[in-house]
Structure 1
Amino acid sequence: MTWHHFADGVEAVLTALDLRDVRLFGYSLGAAVGLEIARRCADRVSRLALHATNTQWTSREVERMTAGLRDVPPAMAARFQALHGDGWRQSVESMIAFAEGLPSAWIDDEALGAVAQPALISIGDRDGLFEVEAALHLARTLPHARLWVLPGVQHALSTLDAEAFAEAVAAALADAPQ
């Protein structure tokens, strides 16, 4: 399981449906997948809005991500059980294995620099999973990107003002210049 594998599926759908002028919004892993799709399918993807993501993982970030998965608190275990049934532990192990492979599967600066579509890169200043510096690096490396740091926002979408966020994303994905 890698984001490249997820991107294979998205690319297959775009190709099968012959979609053009696709405007992608992605959050967290979905944003990394969206970026990979924009890189691979530049003729199909016209704009991006990417929130709370990273494409160049370090072992420190992997540790931060997997720490809570290795020692699942009882309340979270109950929630996982309710959502995923008896297979939840295997799902968690798969997530840990996925995360551990991220440092060797990143999108390098040269590939990022080739993503020419306009992009809004956003992150909460209290993300907890990713550093603001990762978003800043992404915004600086993509040739037509702008960065939006949301004050007081954590990684979970539930911590942001959904209406204001949706308006900003819609504007970024619209045809008008930003």
Structure 2
Amino acid sequence: MGDYADLPGVRTWYETEDGPGDPLVLLHGGFCTNETWGAQRADLAAAHRVLLPERRAHGHTPDVAGPLTYQDMADDTVAFLETVVGGPAHLVGWSDGGVVALLVALARPDLVRRAVVVGATFRPAGEAFADPGMLDAMTPGSADMEFFREMYEAVSPDGAGHWPVVAAKVLDMWRTQPALTERELGRIAAPVLVVSGDDDLMTLEHTTALYRALPDARLAVLPGASHLVPLEKPGLLNGLILDHLAERGPVETMMPVRRAGG
């Protein structure tokens, strides 16, 4: 089921899956729509009330004048949590959605119970991407962008002709954002599961730095997977997400090292 929420920043499209348990908000990746969560919705809704907003300039949600920023999308998500969810929720973000989840958890810890970030970055592409040069080949009309362009054109209220504008905005954002420091990440209180494919778009070194900077984090590197972990390993990922969200209290292991004395 889908509907619009009139948020202060943008009229936002969202869908819901009415399951039991705490609310869970799924935050899709850049250039994507809720369609890409198809392999997660049923499994996660078996244990949670799942809400799926489409961010500004993505899917059914219109673009807004000016540049696209992670901070604006995080502010939209805060408004969504306050207005539609009505309180704190778990956040699961993939790629750009993971960045948004981190920013929300940093700014509004009262609204985030637990978080999962999949293929996320905390620094711009040049510092995080395994192949930073890939952005130079990604133009609105390039073959690499055809999948995203077709997804956008199928549902965007701004029309197919607006695609080059949105594509340019996202690529510009990736070149300079996000710009979080390890010190800022260290202020995130929510327990965070950091997930990556072993051949992800983000370097494993960057993913490990993210994991180490978060004070209450777990790390999962999925074998035989790329940046498209939710599509390639849905069963494994869904189980990891549900296990993390079901945790109560601190992690207890038989031989703690990083968590010793925590």
With normalisation by structure 2, the TM-score equals: 0.60
Which segments of structure 1 move beyond 6 Å, counting only runs of 4 or more?
none
For structure 2, list consecutive stretches of 5 or more residues without a partner in the other structure.
Answer: 1-67, 154-159, 252-262
Is the CA contact (8 Å cut-off) linking 2:124 and 2:176 kept in structure 1? no
2:119 aligned to 38, 48, 52, which one?
Answer: 52
**Cα RMSD for the two superposed structures:** 2.5
Which residue number in structure 1 is paired with residue 69 of structure 2?
Answer: 2
Alignment of 1:160-175 (within 5 A): 160-175=232-247
With normalisation by structure 1, the TM-score equals: 0.85
Q: Could you say if the C-alpha distance between residues 75 and 136 of structure 1 is closer, same or farther in structure 2, counting changes exceeding 3 Å?
A: closer
Separation in 1, partners of 2:113, 2:248? 12
Which residue number in structure 2 is paired with residue 139 of structure 1?
Answer: 211
SS of alignment partner, residue 132 of structure 2: helix
Is the CA contact (8 Å cut-off) linking 1:81 and 1:88 kept in structure 2? no
Are 2:153 and 1:86 aligned?
no
What's the CA shift for 1:93? 1.5
Could you tell me which amino acid in structure 1 is paired with residue 215 of structure 2? P
Separation in 1, partners of 2:240, 2:169? 34
Separation in 2, partners of 1:17, 1:78? 30
Separation in 1, partners of 2:184, 2:125? 18
Q: Answer 1 or 2: which has greater strand percent.
A: 2
Question: Which stretch of the first structure deviates more once superposed, 63-72 or 18-27?
Answer: 63-72
For structure 1, list consecutive stretches of 5 or more residues without a partner in the other structure.
Answer: none
Is the CA contact (8 Å cut-off) linking 2:196 and 2:222 kept in structure 1? yes
- Tell which has more relative contact order, 1 or 2 (C-alpha 8 A, sep 6+): 1
What's the CA shift for 1:17? 4.7
Could you tell me which amino acid in structure 2 is paired with residue 91 of structure 1? V
Separation in 2, partners of 1:53, 1:79? 19
Which residue number in structure 1 is paired with residue 46 of structure 2?
Answer: none
What's the CA shift for 1:68? 3.4
Separation in 2, partners of 1:46, 1:83? 31
Is the CA contact (8 Å cut-off) linking 1:66 and 1:96 kept in structure 2? yes
Which residue number in structure 2 is paired with residue 66 of structure 1?
Answer: 135
Separation in 2, partners of 1:132, 1:20? 34
Which residue number in structure 1 is paired with residue 182 of structure 2?
Answer: 109
Which residue number in structure 1 is paired with residue 27 of structure 2?
Answer: none
Q: Alignment identity in percent? A: 24
Q: Could you say if the C-alpha distance between residues 45 and 81 of structure 1 is closer, same or farther in structure 2, counting changes exceeding 3 Å?
A: closer
Give the length in aligned residue pairs: 175
Separation in 2, partners of 1:36, 1:49? 13
Could you tell me which amino acid in structure 1 is paired with residue 185 of structure 2? L
